[in-house]
Structures are given as C-alpha cells and as structure tokens.
Structure 1
Amino acid sequence: MTATLHALALALSLGAAPAPSPAPQPGDALPALPASLSTRAASVEAVEAQLHAAEAGLRFVESQFTERPEPSNTDSQLKRFSEGELHSLLGDWAAASVLFYDLVSDPDFKSNPRYPEAVFYLADALYQQKNDIGARVYLRDVLALPLTPQRYKEAVSRYLAVAGRLQQFEGIDAYVDKARELSGGVLSPDIAYVHARGTFKRADLSAEEHQQRSRALFAPLAQTPGRFRVQAVYHLGVLSVQAGDLPAAIAQFQRIVATGPDAVVSTGMPEPEAQRFRELARLSLGRLLYETGRYDEALDQYSQVPRESERFPETLLEVAATYVRKQDFVQAKNATDILLLVSPDSQLAPEAQILQGHLLQKLRQYDEALETYDGVVRTFAPARDKVDALLRVNQDPVAYFDNLLARNEKSLDVSTLLPPLALKYASTQKEVANAVRMVGDLDSGRQGAGEAKAIAARILEALDARGPEAFPELQEGYTRVETVDTALTVVEQALVRAETELVEEKLTPAEREKLLVAQGVREAQRLRFETLPTTTRELVERRHRMQTRVDAVDRDAFRLGYELQSLHANAAAVRKWVEDTREDRQADPAEEREFLVQLQAEIATLRDLQSELDHTRARLATERQSTDTSLEGEAAIRTRYSAALQHEHAVLAAGEARLSGEDTRVLLRMHAVRSRTDMLRGRVAVARVALQARLEHRVQSIRAKVRAEQALLQGYEQEVSSASGDARNLVGRIAYDSFRRVRQQFYELVLKADTGTVDVAFSRTQDNAVNIQKVAKQKSEALRALDTEFKDVLSPEGED
C-alpha cells in the first residue's frame, strides 16, 4: 500500500491526474465540494494548525535550551561576581559574602583578573557584618594582591579599623607606608584618622610611647581643616588629660565649643557626629573646670548640653555635684529632681536618689530624706535578694549556668535568668554581651555545619534520584519537550479521527470489527492522556495546584513545629523548677529521680519528633521546588496512548487504497501532516538527548563541588567542637561574675540607703540634742535672770 501511495503522490506531482475540467468562464459559479469533503478538509486544516503550534513550541525549546551553548565556567564565575557586586551595592552583606566566598574558594578563579576585587568584596562584606576575625584574614590576603591605589587605601582603612578592635597590629606599619606612598607621600585624611584612632586604642604601648605616637598622628589632622579636625582636637585633649596637663586639655576642648576665630570648624563632618563631639567636649570641659575649682564656669558648660542629648542625665548628676561643692544644696537638689523627672529609668537614677537623700538631710528635711532612702531600699532590696538566691541555687553556680545552657536546644541568653530590674544592669556588661554572642556564634556554627551537611546530602540525593528536577532550567526544558511530545500525540489523535471519518466507509465488515477493538483499546487510554498538559498555560495551572497542596501541608508542619518548640520550653522550665526548688521541697529523692527519668524520656521523644518534622519539611521544600515531577509517568501514559493510536491507524490503512478523487487529496494532506509529525518527533528525541548530555555535565560538576565542600565541612565541625570544648564553663563563669557584680551594685545602693537612714536618725538626734541643750541653756539663763531680778526679794535681808 505504501508503494501505491508514493506512486499516486508522484503522479499527482507530475500532473498525471485525470484530465482537468474546462476552466470556468466568467460569470460561471465555482463547483462546490460535497459537505462531507469540506468538513474533512477543515479537520485537516485544524490538525495542521495544531501541528504548527507544536512546532513553534519545539523551536522555542531548541533556541532556548538545546541549541544555545552552555555557559562556560568563566561565564558562570563572572555572573556570580556581578550578582555579588549587586548585593554589595544594595547592602545585602550576607548574600554578598556567600557569593564572593564561593568565588574566592574556587581554584579556577584565582587566575581571573577580577580575583583581587572578589577578595576585597568578601573582606568588605565580612567587615560590614562586624565579623572582624574573618575580615582581618581576607583583608590581609587582599593587601598582598595587585590592587588599584583607591582599592588599596580602602582595604588599609578597614584593616586598621579591624586591627584596632582586635588589638592585633602586626604589619600595619608596612601597610600604612605603602598607602602613604600611593598618596604621594601624605596619607589621605580618612586613613590617617583611622590609623591615629587605632594607635590611640593600643594597649601594647608604654604610656610615654602611646602619648608620643598618638600626638604625632593626631596633630597634623588637628591643624588641617576637614571632617576629622574636630575628632583630632578632641583626642589631643584626652591625651592631655591622660598626661595630667589639665590646662592644655581645657584649651583643646575650648577650641571645639568656641564660636570665635579660634574655634575648630567641622568641615565635611555630618552634623549629628559634630554635635556628639561638641557634647563630649562640653562634658569633658565641665569636669576639668570642676577639678580645677572653677565651678561657675563648669556650670556654664554643663548648662549648654541640650536636653535631647543622651548625656543629659549624666550632666545633671554632675551639675548637682558641682552645686554641692559650692554648698548650694537647694540648687543641687533641684538638679536631682530634674534628673529623676526626665530620666527615671536611667542607671543614674538610684545614685541621684541617694544624693537627693543626702541633700534633703543637709536641708534638714528629714522626713523627705527618709522617704527617699526607703524608696531606694524598696526598689533594690528585693532584686538583690533574688540575685542572691540565684547565686546560691547550687554549690557550683558556674556549672549550673553552663549546664543550663547545654541542656537547651537553642542558645539561651543567660541574662534572662535575672529579675527585670537587674537585667538592665547586667545587659550593659560587655563581658556578658560578648559571652552570649560567643555562645550564639558557636551554636550558629554548629547548627550551620549540621545544616550544610544535610544540604550536601540532599543535593547528592537529588542529583542521583531526581535528575533534571535538581536544575530548574533543565527541568523547564524537559517539561516543555514533554509538552511538545504530548501535543504531537494530540495531533496524531486528531489525524486518526480524521482518517476514521475518511476511510471507515471503505472498510470491510472484518476490518470494521478490528477497528472497533482498536478504538476500545484507544478509548481506555484516552481519559488518562487528556489530563496531560499540552500548553504553557496548562503547565502553570498544574504547577499552581500542586504547590498549593504542598503549601497547605507545610503550614500544618509549621504549626506542629511551633507546638514542639513550646513543649521543649515547658520541659526545660519543669526541669529548671525541679532543680531550683529542690531545697524548698520535701520530696522523696527516689520519686524525683523517677520523675526526671520520665521527663528525659519525654524530651528524647520530642527530639525524635522534631527530627522527623525537620526531615518532612525539608522534603516539602524539595517537592515545592519540583512540582513538575511526573514526567516519567506522563511519558508512559503518552507512549501507551500513542501505541493505541498507531494500531488504530494501521487498521485504517487497509481502506486507504480504496479511496479516489478528492478523498485521495485529503488523505495525502493527512499523510504529509503525519510525516511532519514524525520529523518533529525526531527533533524531540534529539532535544531529549541534548538535555540529558547537559544534565550529566552539570551533575558531575556539582557533585565534585559538593564533595569538596563536604571535606571542608568535616574540618569546620572539628574546629567548632574544639572551640566548644575550650569554651566549656566559660559562659557560666562570665555570667556568674556579671551577676555577682550586679548583686554588688544593688548591695552598695541598699547599703548607702540604709546608711543614709542611719545618718538621718543620727542628724535628727544631734539636732534634738542641740535643741535640748539650747533650751536648757535658755532655761538656765532665764533662771539666772530671775534670780538677779528677784535677788533683793529673795535675800534674807529682804525677808526682814
């Protein structure tokens, strides 16, 4: 039959058809096709339109996925560099540091001309995140690389700032000298100021060398107009104070607060920063004038500190002390009144209350003084007792705090153990803040290493099991290819239907019986096939439906996670209560041990549930990103349906030789469409092979990178474990020392208040004694006056 069709097609193409009818004359009507034939031709045209749409989809796949060259490693590196640079410009330092770390750690990128810039951006991102140790490492690396003069000066400026904070100054002189050389022999003001400030903060210099080197660096800045002139003059004043030269220090601070021609102009300095230094200078000037006995001038400087300043409460307390030196107790009390009014929650408030009590005592307002002292005692004595109880909770408080931290799944801020009043005082202790930050860093490092290991395992699992789903771009290409294949099957389905309408009447009864069987097989597969997407819109709608389902399950998982965290917190609170109240309870030790064993079993169960939930949420996250994961199942459905259509077409082929006339022309158009369909299927197969080759290349590349990162993670875990071991009991010790200092602060406040109460009683007793003595003296004097006045009357002679 195929040979017959080819011969017929050749005859038609060569004009070997039946003799054509005479050409119609003008005015004659065109002959109309039979209705059935026109319907069949329209069906073929519809099929051709479907085929055209499928071919357009395939061309898109070829142009965007299979024929477009894969980006080279250099292109990928430059793309990551551009993304990291963009994140840096936007201030997203965390994302920038991740991207540039990936670049810097790539051995192939070290030969790239942009490698020095990448190291600088990485160091800068760490610097902006206050990761001084990491920033110092990469700044030291970048300073050894070829940089532009501007980049080198920026790197030196950051390195000097980090060195000052870490108190690690090795090699800075060489960096500064090179920066000076790049600037034409004179350091730029920003680097000069950072260098001077770092030298000022150095603790490894003798007092004499510290003075000499700091003055030599600040003096040029103080003499040159610019944005750093005010800071330089202020630091010179502080250096004079440290050297004991108070007149020179006063002169320096007066230059900052003065308004005449000798004033220091803050050219280029932001106004908030200039205002801050003016306030510091006035406060320092007031203190120096106070120390030199110039009280009125000191009060004048204090009065010019604005009420909005954060140093205003401190200024008021010093104003009160100055008035006390002047023996003006009323004005001193007024200053403390204002301080307690404008800043009642300040840490200076209790000291102001104690001073106010002393002033009331001086003014002999004893009842008010007692009420003031009692207020301090009522406020701080309960908090002192609570801190005492906290410090006596265990024979080894250090181990208690450390074990309390170790028991918690999440990092615990030990300062939350304090009562609210004490928390304000402990939170300002740098040691506790740094200790808690260190615990958080260790915990984050441990957690990050664990998460990274889990991510690496998930990536390898995805590469092995999920194939193109691990790569969204390739996944889209695969999905579009499958969509085109499905669309071609739909074309084939339409062709079979059109062929059935054309050929069915020419079949013998036996052939019709076979056709019915083939149609039954095909119809059994049709319902499942019609659920497959054939357009981009259908793909998007299916993805949305699947993601909605995944999101609903993830919301339930999140809720369960919150409940598990609450149960964890309850368990930790119960265990802490058991330990804290052990001395106050009359419980059987055996019962307590049994209870704690049960509690520990519940905690272990919670951990298992949390681990299972975390695994489930990780799988949900993976599923959400790969909602087009049914390609293999779709391919099987499509293959079975296509086979049924091919079988039906083979049955219909028996009647094609019996067609004639215009039916044959329609049939040839159908076969032309089928040929184009087969050609497109061949292109689909080529696209699949190209996508598979790209997939294998990417899988091998990423697998190598992940395994290299796994080796690094192993080393990181060992470092974190080592650091955690070195820090054992350190946080507990720091927390204990801080709590003890807070307790000492409260103890001293209560002691001062109690002492003030005793002083009031003693002063009142003294006043009463003086008054009694005065009254007794007045009585004696009155009696003597009476005796004198009535001496004649009372004398014996007077009696006679």
Structure 2
Amino acid sequence: MNASLRALALATALLGSTPTLAAEPRPASRPTARDLAQQLDAVDKGLRLTEENLRFVETQYTQRAEPGDDDSRARRFSDGEIQYLLGDWPAASVLFYDLVSDPRFRPHSRYPDALFYLADSLFQQQNYIGARMYLRELLSLPSSSNHQREALSRYLTVASRLNQFEGIDGYVEKARALSGGQLPPEMAYVHAKWLFRRSDLPAEERIARAREAFGPLAQAPDGAFRLQAAYHLGVLAVQAGELPAAIEHFERLAALPSSPVATSAPTRSQTAAATPEANAQRVRELALMSLGRLLFETGRYSEALDRYGQVPRESESFPESLYESAWVHVKMGNHQLAKNAIDILLMVTPDSPLAAEARLLQGNLLQKLRKYGTSIETYTRVSDDFRPARESIDNLMRVSQDPVAYFDRLLGRVDGSADVRTLLPPLALKYAATQREVADAVRLVGDLDSGRQGADEAQTLAVRILEALETRGMESFPELQEGYTRADAVDSALTHAEAALVRVETAALDAVLTPDERARLDAVRLRREFLGHRFSALPTTLQELEERRRRMQSRVDEVDREAFRLGYELQSLQAVATSVRKWVDDTRGQRTTPPEEEREFLMQLQAETQTLTDLRSELEATRARLADERHAAATALAGEQTIRTEYAAVLRQEHELLSAAEGRLPQGDARTLMRAHEVRSRADALRTRVAAARDVLRARLESRGRDIREKVLAEQQLLDRYEAEVAAVTGDTRNLVGRIAFESFRRVRQQFYDLVLRADVGVVDVAFSEKQDKTTEIQRLSAQKDKALRELDAEFKDVLAEDKQ
C-alpha cells in the first residue's frame, strides 16, 4: 500500500469519526433575567477553570526559562554516563560524540571524562582506531583526569592490537609519573605484554625489555598477575633458546595445585571475567603443554608423556595433549599406545580441525600394526571427507580469478549470496575460519560495510529530521507540542464561552430586534450552527486531550499491526522465492527442462523477487510514517485551527449584529448585557494571554529548530566527507582484502589437497606394505618348501640310489 495513500486514509478515518450535534433549537419562550444570570454564572465559573488551565500552560511551558546550553550539555553528559554504566556502548558513544564534537563543551570540566567514556565505548565495540584517536586527545590534555590511568592502560592495549607503537614510551613514562615512579600492576602487565608482542624491535632487545617488565610482576608473592607473568618469562626463555631455564619456569607453574573440576558449563559472565582460580588453572595447563613439548625436544620422552598425561580432560588443551603424546609414543616405538591416544582424541573431538591429522596418523599406526584393512578404511575416510570440499573450492577458484570479484562474490555483492557460508562447503568453512587472514579480511570489509550502512542511515535520518522541522514543526518537540496543544484547548474553551455569551445576548435582545436584524442574525446563526458541529468535538480539558490521544494512537496501532502482518507475508513470499531459486539450481542436472524455458522462468522469478523487494521497502516507509503519526497523535487534527478561527469569527459577527440593538433595551435588561460584557472582557484578556503563550512557544520552536537545523546541516557535511573517505578506502582496501581472502582460501585448498594426497598415498603405501608382507611370506614359504625338499632328498638319498640300481 502506498505510504501517502495510507496516511490519507488514516487521516480521513480519524476526521470522519467526529461526532455531530443536532441543530441549536430556538427557545420556546423568552428566558427571564434570572435564567440569563444563571447562564452567565456558569460561563464565569467555566472561565475561572479555563484561567487555571492557562496558568498551568504559562507556568510550565512559557514562563519557565529555556534550559541553557550548559544545562543541555550537562543533561546529555548525564544521559551518556548512565548508558555507559549500563553497558549500552552504542548509545553512550553517540551521546558522548555529540558532546565531544561541540566546541563549546571543550572548556567544561567534564570534557576529559567525556573523552574517556567515548573512547572506552568505542573500545568495547572493537573500534580500536576511533578509540585510539580519542585516547590520544585525552592523554594530550594538560589537565589531569580521573581516568588517566585507565586511559593509559586502554591506549597500550589498543596500540598492541593495532601494532602501532610510536610514542608509547612517552605515555608509559607519564603513567609512571602519575603513579609515583612505579606502574600499577594492571598497567605494568599491559605494558609488559605490549613489549612481549612488539615486532619493531630486534629479538634480543625485545626479550630483554619484556623480561625486565615481567620480572617484578612474577616475583610479587600475592600479585594478581604473578602466574601470567611467570608463564611469559618461560616463553621468553624458549624464544631466547634457553630450554633448561624454560623447563624450570614451567616446572614451577606445573606444580600449582589443580582446581576442582567444574560440574557445569561456565556462564557468559564467568567466561568474560575469569576468576583467579580459573586463571591459575589455565596457566597450569599451558605450562604442562609447554613442558611436554620442551621435554620431547630434549629427548626426555617418558617425562614428556607424564606431563601430557597431567592435562585435565576438561581442559581445552586436552585433545592437543593426546595428539602430541601420540607422537611421543611413535618416537618411542610404542605404536599401540600411540593408536590408543589417537582413538581417545577422535572420540573426544571427532570434528575438530586436528581430527584430520589424527586420522592420518591413525592410518599410519594401523599400517605399522599390520591391520591393513582398517588402515585403508581410515585413509579412505579422510580422502572421502576432504576430496568433495577440495573439488568445490577448485570450482570456486576457477571461476574467480580476480581477487576483487572473488571477494565481492563472497560478500554477496555480485550474485546476492548472503555471506561466505553460502559459497564454501561447511568443511572448508571450518578450516577457513581458522585462517586469521580470512577472519581479518571479513572483519575489515564488514567494518567498511557497517560504516557505509551507518552513513546511509545517518543521511536518511538527517533528511527526516530536516523534513520534520519543515513540515511537522511543533510535532518535532514533544514538550512544546504539549504546551501548544494545551493552549489550543484553552482557546477552544474561551470560544465555547464566547458562544455561550452570544446565546445570552441573543436571548436578552430578541424582543427588540427588527425584522431585518433578525433575518441577518438567522443567516449568521445557521453558519455558526454548521461550524459548531465540528467545533464541539475539539478538546477543551486535559481529560479530553488524553482521550483523543489514546483514541488516535489506538487507530494508528491497529493500522501498524496490519502493516506488520503484511510485512510477515512479504518475508514469507521472499523465502519461497529463494527456495524456488535454490531448487532450480540444485535440480538442474536432474531435469530435462529446455534452457530457454528455464531462463524465462528465472526471469519471471527475478521480476517477482524485485517486486517483493520494492513492496517491502514501501511497507517499511509506511511503517516509519505510521511511527511518526503515532508520536504526533496528540497534535491538532487537520483544519482544527481553521475551524476554531472560522467559528470565532462567526461569533464576533453575530455579536456585532446584536450590539446594534443594545440601545433599544430597557434599563433593567441592560444590566444583564453589562455583566455579559464584563465576562467577555475577562475572556478577551485570557485570549490575549493565550496568544502571548502561543507566540512564546512559536519563538522557542523557531529557536530550537534553527539550532537543530544548523547541527544537522553540519553533520551532513561531515557525512559527505566521511562517505567520500569510505569510498576511497573501499576502492583501495577491497583489492587488498580480495587478495588476502583469495590467497587464504587457496591455502585452505592446498591444505585439503595435501590431506587427500597423503590419504591416497597412505592407501597405496598400505597396499604396497601388504603386498610386501605377502611376497615376503610367499618367499619364506618357498624357502621352507625348498628346505623341506632338500631334507627329504637327503633323507631318502639311499633309497633313491637303490631304486636306480
């Protein structure tokens, strides 16, 4: 359904629901002065209530000072801090970005805190480049901040992950100065890890500096990072070629007491923040694995097996320990024990990437144990598992020689595939996921796509804001809208009072009206009664305003529910279309459909899919319009102000016609009109205050709209530059990322090729070994036969000689 038609239908339905009133009856008899006085008392009482409502509008909306810029920024800072503490990083980063980008906020005392909150929110979202930029700005400020230490620690972590080390030493010295000459343990550990990972230093200098940093942490008796630092010292000893010293380091860590076995899987919070006991257990497991490898390298096989055997079954390193212990057994010539270890490994983790190598080793061990049939089955299983995946990758590589086009295809930019999983076989995808280059490439392009999508959404939002400011006006500011709606309700109440006063004046002057005046009044009265049908539906109290809001929102919600149902149907139809396309592709080799007929069918299917896409876009626009209408449900109906103005003008015209006959009234009846004039004067004074309140609200609307418009236009300029930068980076990066992905998947293909080749060679080797064994056995039996024949010949030599004689 077209969005504009839907909105028009909605407005028509809402406007068409206005209740109607019967025509105003002419009085059967002329009311008395007492009756008119009672009517004036009712009008006067209503004016007092109306004045209270107007006073509420003035005190709460017009006389209350507008919050200053400082107050607004303080409120945004408070909102951002709340979102940060709640862990809503995207919302916090948006609020603090608005503050940090405002030049007027820079002199504020909380500006450094806003920088840290923004940087840390970006860090938590893994936007390390953005976090680094704001952390550098924070650390460059001359004034100190409550978050200086945390900012320095975050900066070191970001520098390590981005592999950007320029200027780090200066920041470390600054942190040392803030801490009285010694870094806090958590920062010292981050600094030490940064030194450990540095790739811009010679190996000797890097190892020496890292040892110097880890040493004090490892020697602290109760330090929180003592075990982690000790493990890194052991690794540094290995890197320095000091294997005996490394073994001593790991021996001390392996002697740590083992933690109790967990009876249930850890929760997400437990995984995110590991306990000291869990850290100690993990360090012990890593130390055991390192010891096993070092002892194996130094030829101490029995001790290596002992260390591998101490790795708990619950450890994530347990499968790896089984695989490495199997090789130790092979080195020792214990083929049966090696096979037992591999059997356990395949039973524990049959689907891990390590399982393929384990099966090849298992086939080799079975061959050495002369179980040739089982060995061939094992090799054949590896070949059967990996050959189809290798051929699938081969086909993919043959049609994707251009790395850019190849990676675009993976990301669904060419043929509509959703992601890499739709093109790679599951087995290949599992091995490709282990390639760090592929993961980084996918993440990089994903970040580019997210940035481009975010820029597009921001541009759309900016256009909607500008359009709302131009077309919806007061609806864009709920507070001003509420005040203006209450002022309209007061105006409607005053117009109702004016209508009551006109009725009193008509009754008082009815006896002295001339036929000509009566005719003109009747014509004006008919017009007034016609407009009164519509005007009587306008709200005049807060309760009526709330009831109208509820009624309108309920109708908008009903339409939105129908729109949601239609969206679900469209989504289902798109799923059917996708399934049909997949069926056509999957069954192409089994069907005998002529190519021309299939091509025509696919073209029709593509047209229907495009129609569904267009309908979904239109429906989303309609739902966005409905959301705007729901938020604006408390505003005046179309033409409401026009109805009120026309109705008030007719009342004034009727009052002016009646005023011409006031001079013909007797003195006693004139007192009633005098009181009516007093009440009207009060109503006019209230109307003047209503107009003043509206002027204030409109002025504030103009001021706020101007400020927001300026901000949005400035952000649009930034978005234009950002989109240009993203487009430029995408052009350069896409080629680089495409080559990285291409080469990485080619390595996966090579890995599969090697696995299949080794499995096939294993089958041939087993067959050759079995042939050799059988040949050897035949030769042995032939030799035995020859020996037996010679023995028989020797034994019966005399008998044979006698027979010859």
Distance 1:122 1:703 in 2: 24
> Equivalent residue for 1:162?
158
> Equivalent residue for 1:435?
441
Q: Which is further off, 654-663 or 227-236?
A: 654-663
Distance 1:794 1:595 in 2: 94
Q: Which is further off, 671-680 or 222-231?
A: 671-680
Q: Which is further off, 742-751 or 489-498?
A: 489-498
User: Secondary structure of the equivalent of 2:639?
Assistant: helix
Aligned pair in 2 of structure 1 residues 566, 107: CA closer, same or farther (>3 Å)?
A: farther
Aligned pair in 2 of structure 1 residues 556, 391: CA closer, same or farther (>3 Å)?
A: farther
> Equivalent residue for 1:264?
none
> Equivalent residue for 1:346?
352
Alpha-carbon offset, residue 787 of structure 1: 3.7
Distance 1:294 1:587 in 2: 68
Aligned pair in 2 of structure 1 residues 438, 374: CA closer, same or farther (>3 Å)?
A: same
Distance 1:708 1:411 in 2: 37
Kept after mapping to 2: 8 A contact 1:415/1:426: no
Q: Which is further off, 707-716 or 554-563?
A: 554-563
Alpha-carbon offset, residue 596 of structure 1: 10
Alpha-carbon offset, residue 44 of structure 1: 4.4
For residues 729-751 of structure 1, what are the alpha-carbon distances to aligned partners after superposition, in whole Å with 9 as ceiling and x for unaligned?
33332332222122112111111
Structure 1 letter corresponding to 2:449: D
Asked which structure has the greater CA Rg, the reply is: 1
Aligned pair in 2 of structure 1 residues 139, 572: CA closer, same or farther (>3 Å)?
A: farther
Kept after mapping to 1: 8 A contact 2:113/2:145: no
> Equivalent residue for 1:235?
232
User: Secondary structure of the equivalent of 1:729?
Assistant: helix
User: Secondary structure of the equivalent of 1:727?
Assistant: helix
Structure 2 letter corresponding to 1:688: R
Kept after mapping to 2: 8 A contact 1:393/1:580: no
* Alignment counterpart, residue 524 of structure 1, candidates 530, 538, 559: 530
Percent identity between matched residues is 62
Distance 2:341 2:666 in 1: 117
**Structure 2 unmatched ranges of 5 or more:** 1-30, 259-273
Distance 2:488 2:277 in 1: 64
Kept after mapping to 2: 8 A contact 1:504/1:652: no
User: Secondary structure of the equivalent of 1:428?
Assistant: coil
Alpha-carbon offset, residue 662 of structure 1: 9.8
Structure 1 letter corresponding to 2:235: V
Kept after mapping to 1: 8 A contact 2:535/2:643: yes
- Mapping for residues 507-518 of structure 1, pairs under 5 Å: 515-518=521-524
Aligned pair in 2 of structure 1 residues 409, 48: CA closer, same or farther (>3 Å)?
A: farther
> Equivalent residue for 1:21?
none
Distance 1:499 1:324 in 2: 116
* Alignment counterpart, residue 108 of structure 1, candidates 104, 107, 117: 104
> Equivalent residue for 2:294?
288
Structure 2 letter corresponding to 1:683: R
Aligned pair in 2 of structure 1 residues 562, 206: CA closer, same or farther (>3 Å)?
A: farther
Alpha-carbon offset, residue 232 of structure 1: 0.5
Distance 2:49 2:504 in 1: 19
Structure 1 letter corresponding to 2:457: E
Q: Which is further off, 766-775 or 682-691?
A: 766-775
Structure 2 letter corresponding to 1:137: M
Structure 2 letter corresponding to 1:465: T
Matched, 1:461 2:461: no
Matched, 1:362 2:368: yes
Distance 2:415 2:676 in 1: 70
Q: Which is further off, 652-661 or 101-110?
A: 652-661
Structure 1 letter corresponding to 2:290: S
Distance 2:419 2:309 in 1: 40
For residues 703-757 of structure 1, what are the alpha-carbon distances to aligned partners after superposition, in whole Å with 9 as ceiling and x for unaligned?
2222222222221122111111212433332332222122112111111211121
> Equivalent residue for 1:249?
246
Aligned pair in 2 of structure 1 residues 537, 287: CA closer, same or farther (>3 Å)?
A: farther
Distance 2:784 2:415 in 1: 79
Distance 2:43 2:344 in 1: 91
> Equivalent residue for 2:769?
763
> Equivalent residue for 1:337?
343
Matched, 1:772 2:784: no
For residues 108-143 of structure 1, what are the alpha-carbon distances to aligned partners after superposition, in whole Å with 9 as ceiling and x for unaligned?
111112212111211111111111111111111100
Aligned pair in 2 of structure 1 residues 97, 702: CA closer, same or farther (>3 Å)?
A: same
For residues 661-681 of structure 1, what are the alpha-carbon distances to aligned partners after superposition, in whole Å with 9 as ceiling and x for unaligned?
998877666554433322211
Distance 2:564 2:436 in 1: 36
For residues 215-270 of structure 1, what are the alpha-carbon distances to aligned partners after superposition, in whole Å with 9 as ceiling and x for unaligned?
11111111113111111001111111111212111111122221489xxxxxx963
- Mapping for residues 15-414 of structure 1, pairs under 5 Å: 43-148=39-144, 150-224=146-220, 225-259=222-256, 270-394=276-400, 396=402, 398-402=404-408, 405=411, 407=413, 412-414=418-420
- Mapping for residues 562-711 of structure 1, pairs under 5 Å: 616=622, 618-630=624-636, 633-650=639-656, 670-711=676-717
> Equivalent residue for 2:28?
none
Q: Which is further off, 720-729 or 564-573?
A: 564-573
Structure 1 letter corresponding to 2:54: L
Distance 2:410 2:287 in 1: 45
- Which structure has more RCO (C-alpha within 8 Å, separation ≥ 6)? 2
Alpha-carbon offset, residue 760 of structure 1: 1.5
> Equivalent residue for 1:29?
none
Distance 2:620 2:394 in 1: 41
Distance 2:37 2:281 in 1: 88
User: Secondary structure of the equivalent of 2:241?
Assistant: coil
Aligned pair in 2 of structure 1 residues 567, 439: CA closer, same or farther (>3 Å)?
A: farther
Kept after mapping to 2: 8 A contact 1:525/1:641: yes
Alpha-carbon offset, residue 535 of structure 1: 2.7
Q: Which is further off, 643-652 or 197-206?
A: 643-652
> Equivalent residue for 2:735?
729
Kept after mapping to 1: 8 A contact 2:560/2:626: yes
Structure 2 letter corresponding to 1:236: L
- Mapping for residues 422-501 of structure 1, pairs under 5 Å: 422-497=428-503
> Equivalent residue for 1:30?
none
**Structure 1 unmatched ranges of 5 or more:** 1-34, 262-267
Kept after mapping to 2: 8 A contact 1:411/1:440: no
Aligned pair in 2 of structure 1 residues 214, 394: CA closer, same or farther (>3 Å)?
A: closer
Distance 1:588 1:369 in 2: 47
Kept after mapping to 2: 8 A contact 1:506/1:655: yes
User: Secondary structure of the equivalent of 1:62?
Assistant: helix
> Equivalent residue for 2:16?
none
How high is the TM-score relative to the length of structure 1? 0.85
Kept after mapping to 1: 8 A contact 2:445/2:734: no
Aligned pair in 2 of structure 1 residues 698, 222: CA closer, same or farther (>3 Å)?
A: same
Aligned pair in 2 of structure 1 residues 38, 272: CA closer, same or farther (>3 Å)?
A: farther
Distance 1:494 1:281 in 2: 94
Alpha-carbon offset, residue 500 of structure 1: 5.4
User: Secondary structure of the equivalent of 1:336?
Assistant: helix
Alpha-carbon offset, residue 275 of structure 1: 2.5
How high is the TM-score relative to the length of structure 2? 0.85
Kept after mapping to 2: 8 A contact 1:504/1:655: no
Distance 1:541 1:751 in 2: 78
Alpha-carbon offset, residue 471 of structure 1: 1.6
User: Secondary structure of the equivalent of 1:306?
Assistant: coil
Structure 2 letter corresponding to 1:194: V
Alpha-carbon offset, residue 655 of structure 1: 7.5
Aligned pair in 2 of structure 1 residues 547, 431: CA closer, same or farther (>3 Å)?
A: farther
Kept after mapping to 1: 8 A contact 2:379/2:763: yes
Kept after mapping to 1: 8 A contact 2:84/2:92: yes
> Equivalent residue for 2:25?
none
